Structure 1
Amino acid sequence: MRGIVLACGNTQSPLITDGDGFEVRRVSERPGKAEVDPLLADLGDRRLVVVGTDGDLNAVALRLLRTERLTEVVVGYVPVSPKSQVAELWGLPTDLGRALDLARTGDADRVPLVRDDVGGVLVGLGSLGPVRGVGYCDDTVVLRGPASRLEVTPDPDGGAGLVVRVVQRRLLGRKTTTTTGRAFQLGCVPAHVESDGHAHPRPMSKWTWYRHTEDLRLVRGMR
């Protein structure tokens, strides 16, 4: 097995070294076109391992989408945070050593890649809130009025593409409604949006997440 390890941001560990057919490239936090695209051009049939945050993986997935390499490149992910939503969603280890072993040698599965209507992608958790508006998951009304929080993730159970959770606080706790579908659309009083830990720069009155036509080839299982 051969590949490139992208060590994103200030990622530091004696375990992240060249060897066993992998070369380490250090890139910035949430690396963009200037850093990622030249590496993809030289990648060939090797796999790409991202060591960083969910936001770093998001940035790399976006470059794979933009360069039309989603169907070709196998991506391993090594989360640096034990609270990684991507790791929780897809059952990935958060121990650095185990995660590196899996990312380098494991088998890839095709998992849904979710896009938004402002040119971004979602690989883990997207959220809005508090929010007041009307939201649809495909043809189903999932929100009409206020909610404490809206959460969207790719669907880990092989469904149409994504999972929408609407959280509403009540006097005696909270109520969470879960719906699955291919797309989620929201019109609302301007609300804050966050995708994979990265906040959108301004409040939005409309937002859409939907499943892309091609999946992300994410390493999930051991050989």
Structure 2
Amino acid sequence: MVMLAVCLGEGPQTVVPAVSAGETIVLPARPGRKDFAALMDFIAAHTPDDLGPGLEQLQKQPDLTPPGQPVAQEFSGPRLRVVISGDDAGFAAVATKLMRTDNLWVDLAYVPSSADSPAATNYGIPTDRQQAVEMAISGPVSPVPLIRDDSAQMVFGHATVTDFSGGEVTGEIIVDDHVLLDHRAGKKKPARGFYGAKLVPMKDQPGLAAVVMDTPLTPPAPTGGLAGKLAGLLGRGRNTPTGTVDPDTLSTGRALQAGGLNLAVTVDGVTRPRPVERATFYRHLRDLQLVRGQS
């Protein structure tokens, strides 16, 4: 096996010394399009010749894709394992680059830089650094669905569709053919209501799971003036729940579509800079070759 360490950020906490037998590439914590040259050169130097049909062939010939099943890139020869040290959004940026260049034959391992990692929790990846490094180096590869949005951005930990102003949503959100949410916001912001949807990638079929968010994603802005001071003195708003979901609304499928007014799309903690009227998340044609626990 050929191994490469990709350290997102230059702090010592992002170094993966146990991968010293291979090569190490340091990228910004949020790598952009121009930062991937060294990584892509390394992958090109180790790319097998027999990767099977490319994405263009799969898209033009649907019969190559079994119904409901992504197509793996089968090949012979040594595998390439890329160990990514950083946070969920950083891992997603690297994986997104590989997805866009159709290089999902590469095994990807994750060493979280923080214990607060939804992706690590979801996939059974240790947040203890030493344990995560050990799994990254010697753990098994288990393909998992790769969920992407309509801007070709991969979702690694979780994504949300909410109101850009922080209130209840006005719109409809559908998972496959099931209506998850259909709501028109009123003038008031109830403590619990219809604030959007949260989705996470699944470890198996059909691909993604989504629930209705019944409280705002972030705490409400403090009220100004005398009313705000009075609310502060009375302790109002200090224990207001945020970002909670209604588990009874759980729905699974291969795609989520949202349409409405003033929608905010957030992927792995990064929110698009402008509101949108439509958003789509769906399962990619290829799975992510993820090194992970079996839980």
User: Normalized against structure 2, the TM-score is what?
Assistant: 0.69
Of 147-156 and 81-90, deviating more is: 147-156
Is 1:74 the counterpart of 2:107 in the alignment? Answer: yes
The percent of aligned pairs where both chains have the same amino acid is: 33
Deviations 1:49-103 (A, max 9, x none): 0000111111111111122111x20000001111111101101100111101101
Check if 1:90 corresponds to 2:93.
no
Aligned letter for 2:130?
Answer: G
Of the three residues 136, 139, 154, the one matched with 2:201 is: 154
Question: What CA distance in whole angstroms lies between the structure 2 residues aligned with 1:174 and 1:59?
Answer: 26
The 1:219/1:185 distance shift into structure 2, 3 A limit, reads: same
1:39 alignment partner in structure 2: 42
- The structure whose residues are more often helix, as a share, is 2
Identify unmatched segments of 5+ residues in structure 2. Answer: 48-78, 164-168, 186-193, 216-243
Asked if 1:112 corresponds to 2:159, the answer is no
Does structure 2 conserve the Cα–Cα contact (< 8 Å) formed by 1:53 and 1:84? yes
Match for 2:246: what amino acid? K
Q: In the aligned structure 2, how far is the partner of 1:150 from the partner of 1:191?
A: 11
Q: How many residues align?
A: 220
Partner of residue 53 from structure 1, selected from 79, 82, 87: 87
Are the counterparts in 2 of residues 32 and 63 from structure 1 also a CA contact under 8 Å? Answer: no
Query: Quick check: which has more Rg, 1 or 2?
Result: 2
Distance 1:174 1:164, change over 3 A: closer
> What is the alpha-carbon distance in structure 2 between the residues aligned to residue 14 and residue 134 of structure 1?
41
1:208 counterpart (276, 280, 289): 280
Structure with higher strand content:
1
**TM-score, length of structure 1 as denominator length:** 0.89
What residue in structure 1 maps to residue 260 of structure 2? Answer: 188
Ranges in structure 1 where 5+ consecutive residues have no aligned partner: none
One-letter code of the match for 2:28?
Answer: S
Q: Which whole-Å CA distance do the structure 2 matches of 1:107 and 1:174 have between them?
A: 32
